[in-house]
């Protein structure tokens, strides 16, 4: 082969490689197939952005034991075919080809990752029919570590219901609220409310500018702060609340299996000019009324409970159950208004999952309902820790 022939062959191979790279770029939306990293880097020269994409081989390109995942009987005829190549960032490329990691990334696993990722991208781009939503993630300290929905959990949950939550910037849709400190610690409740306020200020700015038209909430926090979060959410912006389920295979997705739970409202018979009314929300477990502070132990109560079923931590697994709760909770607040119109303060005591706590706060109407003290359960008592609508 002459020098000219070798040059032509090199050019042809380079052209084929560019064609394959472009095809993979389109199928992956310019993101790393493994970690979803954006492959058109933020670093720029005077002329263009720096490309971070690398072509990686599932079955190694060359023969021999040193070629990752290459075996004599692997049956791969063309290792440079599009089916055998993955578009990755540099870090993921190093990981899958490292001799100590190859066993964790056999060919079948890489094919599965590639096919799954490309199906997700295809679903997003096929019809343009996904609902754009801004993800509001709220996390707090649980047993000494921060519990917060990951961006991957959020993205997978939203894509499964045809929501598009894959955004690049906080302004356009990823709002993270990290509540630090332990519940009951000095200044915890005030600091937590301030953190929620600061985050929702950014959300409102994005809503007012038109960048955000829909909000998806993923929250883990003590009940009083979740109630406060719900109260502070804009009721004019379409909002969907997701529930963290104990089943790790379900995650944040609504299973919608079985019959939705119905709820009913109970009220004590006393009426008249009372100053305090206790609102009881018993969904996760019963509320021990003996733990109420003496000041409100004898106050009239309005209570919401599930119909014909005992309270349980897994009660809210169907999204319609949450909608049923929200409807009856508003009825409970209307009952409190009707029976006790002179009440100067409500006292909210709840044993409820995160989604229910947020809905409980959303139903409290500014300038219409009385201020509501929200209680936190201690070892043997309930303590009022914050006030909404005050």
| 74, 96, 126 - which closes a domain | 126
pLDDT attached to residue 1: 46
Taking a C-beta distance cutoff of 8 angstroms, is the pair 147, 140 a contact?
A: yes
284-302 per-residue burial string, b: 16 or more CB within 10 A, e: under 16 = beebeeebbeeebeebbbb
Q: Does 169 score more than 60 pLDDT? A: no
Mean pLDDT across the stretch 125-153?
83
**pLDDT digit string (tens) for 343-364?**
999 999 999 999 999 999 999 9
Taking a C-beta distance cutoff of 8 angstroms, is the pair 239, 199 a contact?
A: no
Mean pLDDT taken over the chain: 84
Q: Which of 39-53, 198-212, 325-339 has the lowest mean pLDDT?
A: 39-53
**In terms of residue numbers, what domain contains 179?**
131-242
In this structure, the answer to whether residues 227 and 321 fall within a common structural domain is no
Tell me, yes or no, whether 114 lies in a domain. yes
- Cα–Cα distance between 372 and 386 in angstroms, integer? 8
pTM exceeding the 0.75 threshold for the entire prediction? no
**pLDDT digit string (tens) for 185-206?**
789 999 999 999 999 999 998 8
| 126, 160, 184 - which closes a domain | 126
pLDDT attached to residue 354: 94
In this structure, the answer to whether residues 371 and 278 fall within a common structural domain is yes
Tell me, yes or no, whether 247 lies in a domain. no
Secondary structure (H, E, C), 348-371: EEEECCHHHHHHHHHCCCCCCCCC
Taking a C-beta distance cutoff of 8 angstroms, is the pair 320, 326 a contact?
A: no
Helix axes 3-28, 107-126, angle to 10 degrees: 60
Give residue 209's pLDDT band: very low, low, confident or very high (50, 70, 90).
confident
């Amino acid at each position: 082969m002459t020098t000219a022939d070798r040059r032509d062959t090199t050019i042809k191979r380079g052209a084929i490689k560019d064609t394959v790279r472009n095809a993979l770029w389109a199928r992956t939306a310019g993101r790393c197939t493994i970690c979803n990293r954006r492959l058109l880097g933020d670093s720029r020269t005077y002329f263009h952005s720096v490309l971070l994409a690398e072509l990686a081989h599932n079955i190694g390109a060359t023969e021999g034991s040193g070629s990752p995942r290459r075996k004599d009987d692997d049956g791969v005829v063309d290792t440079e075919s599009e089916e055998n190549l993955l578009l990755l960032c540099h870090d993921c490329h190093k990981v899958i080809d490292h001799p100590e990691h190859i066993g964790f990334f056999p060919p079948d696993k890489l094919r599965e990752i590639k096919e799954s990722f490309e199906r997700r991208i295809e679903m997003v781009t096929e019809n343009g029919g996904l609902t754009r939503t801004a993800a509001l993630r709220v996390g707090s300290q649980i047993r000494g570590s921060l519990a917060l929905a990951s961006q991957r959990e959020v993205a997978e949950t939203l894509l499964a219901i045809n929501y598009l939550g894959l955004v690049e910037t906080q302004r356009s849709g990823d709002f993270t609220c990290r509540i630090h400190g332990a519940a009951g610690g000095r200044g915890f409740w005030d600091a937590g409310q301030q953190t929620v306020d600061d985050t929702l200020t950014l959300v409102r700015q994005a809503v007012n500018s038109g960048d955000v038209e829909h909000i998806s909430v993923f929250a883990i926090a003590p009940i009083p702060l979740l109630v406060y979060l719900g109260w502070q959410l804009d009721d004019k912006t379409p909002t969907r609340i997701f529930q963290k389920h104990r089943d790790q295979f379900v995650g944040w997705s609504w299973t919608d299996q079985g019959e939705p739970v119905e709820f009913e409202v109970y009220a004590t018979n006393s009426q008249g000019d009372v100053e305090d009314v206790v609102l009881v929300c018993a969904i996760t477990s019963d509320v021990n009324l003996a733990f109420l502070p003496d000041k409100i132990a004898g106050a009239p109560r309005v209570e919401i409970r599930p119909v014909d079923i005992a309270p349980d931590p897994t009660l809210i697994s169907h999204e319609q159950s949450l909608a049923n709760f929200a409807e009856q909770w508003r009825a409970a607040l209307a009952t409190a208004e009707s029976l006790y119109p002179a009440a100067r303060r409500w006292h909210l005591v709840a044993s409820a999952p995160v989604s229910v706590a947020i809905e409980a706060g959303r139903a409290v109407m500014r300038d219409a309902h009385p201020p509501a003290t929200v209680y936190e359960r201690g070892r043997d008592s309930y303590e009022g820790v914050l006030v909404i609508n005050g």
